Amino acid sequence: MSLSGDAMIEDTTLVKACIKGDSRAQKALFEKFAPKMFAVCLRYIGDFDEAQDTLQDGFIKVFNKSRAQKALFEKFAPKMFAVCLRYIGDFDEAQDTLQDGFIKVFNKLSDFKNEGVLEGWIRRIIVNTCLDSIRKNHKTKFNTSISEVEYQLEYIDTSFQNLELEELMNLVQSMPNGYRVVFNMFAIEGYTHKEIGEKLGINENTSKSQYLRARSFLRERLKKLEWKEKTV
């Protein structure tokens, strides 16, 4: 029997709270699922008292796993939230995306084979979750023209190099969705335009165009900032 949409949302909320170590959420999770799980234990064990002990041992393992997940979350969440905020732009939506991303991380932990860096593996999942959120919640339009600006792959704008990281991130967050996504993927995450096209369902030239327009957007904002500093 399938769960209703409301039930699935409630379960997801409980899981997110348990990952954060919320004891009330863990109690609510136990009270919600213990009766059914006890029936499972009783079917296998046969003895009432032993089935109760087995149920408690099972939930202890569940919550011990939650504590380990909480430690992993607390270690990587600040960096991954910065990633979400760069892609999403909105603080609350970035928080939701972060939590959704870490649920995917916990579900896929068995897939990590210690090949490469754990942080990089988590980061890829978080980025993909951001892209899923953007596709779901935003009607992003990608401009396909690259005729207005010459595309130079090796070009580096020295004005960007002089920016403080926080200033640059604030400017990135203020970009239109299409610019922001491609700029993040190409300039910060290191994806090629071909890879970006494949992930976003656009062609390679469209990705290049969006990146150019993102740089143009940044230059215009930088000019305005410089003008304000001179007039202060």
Which of residues 137, 172, 197 is at a domain's end? 137
40 and 132 part of one domain: yes
Q: Answer with the one of 107, 137, 167 that is the final residue of a domain.
A: 137
At 106-119, the pLDDT tens digits run: 888 888 887 778 99
The verdict on 99 and 203 lying in the same domain is no
Specify whether 179 is located in the same domain as 67. Answer: no
Tell me the average pLDDT across 44-54. 90
C-beta separation of 182 from 211 below 8 A: yes
Whether residue 128 sits in one domain with residue 18: yes
Residues 96 and 187 in one domain: no
20 and 77 assigned to the same domain: yes
Structural domain contains residue 143: no
Clarify whether residues 162 and 133 are in a common domain.
no
Distance, CA of 157 to CA of 173 (rounded, Å) = 19
The answer to the question of residue 147 being in a domain is: no
Whether 149 is in a domain gets the answer no
* Residue 69 · residue 17 · CB < 8 Å: no
Domain shared by 30 and 82, yes or no? yes
Helix or strand or coil: residue 113? coil
Number of separate domains in the chain: 2
pLDDT at 3 over 50: no
Q: In the Cβ-directed half-sphere of 72, how many Cα atoms lie within 13 Å?
A: 19
In a domain, 26, yes or no: yes
Q: What's the half-sphere exposure (Cβ side, CA atoms, 13 Å) at 19?
A: 22
Instruction: Tell me whether residue 19 is in a domain.
Output: yes
**pLDDT tens, position by position, 120-162:** 999 999 999 999 888 887 655 555 444 333 333 333 354 455 5
Structure tokens given for 207: 């990705």
Query: In terms of domains, do 114 and 177 share one?
Result: no
**Token pair in block for residue 200:** 């976003």
Instruction: Specify the DSSP class assigned to residue 201.
Output: T
**115 and 166, same structural domain?**
no
Q: Quote the pLDDT of residue 139.
A: 57
- Where is mean pLDDT largest: 24-28, 77-81, 169-173, 214-218? 77-81
Who contacts 51 (Cβ-Cβ below 8 Å, separation ≥6)?
A: 38, 41, 42, 44, 45
Asked if residue 114 belongs to a domain, the reply is: yes
- Is the same domain home to 76 and 41? yes
pLDDT digits (tens, 9 = 90+) for 181-210: 999 899 888 899 999 999 888 899 999 999
Q: Is residue 21 in a domain?
A: yes
Expressed as residue numbers, the domain containing 51 is 5-137
Instruction: Report which of 65, 76, 66 is spatially closest to residue 98, judged by C-alpha positions.
Output: 76
Q: Which two tokens stand for residue 4?
A: 């209703």
Residue recorded with tokens 């990146």: 211
Q: Count CB-CB contacts under 10 A for residue 227.
A: 10
Can you tell me the distance from the alpha carbon of 142 to that of 130, in angstroms, rounded to the nearest whole number? 17
Provide the CATH number for the domain around residue 199. 1.10.10.10
Q: What is the pLDDT of residue 148?
A: 38
Where helices occur in the chain by DSSP H, the ranges are: 5-19, 23-45, 48-88, 91-108, 118-137, 158-161, 165-173, 177-183, 193-200, 204-231
Residue 168 falls inside a structural domain: yes
Both 166 and 78 in one domain: the answer is no
Q: Which of 77, 103, 137 is the last residue of a domain?
A: 137
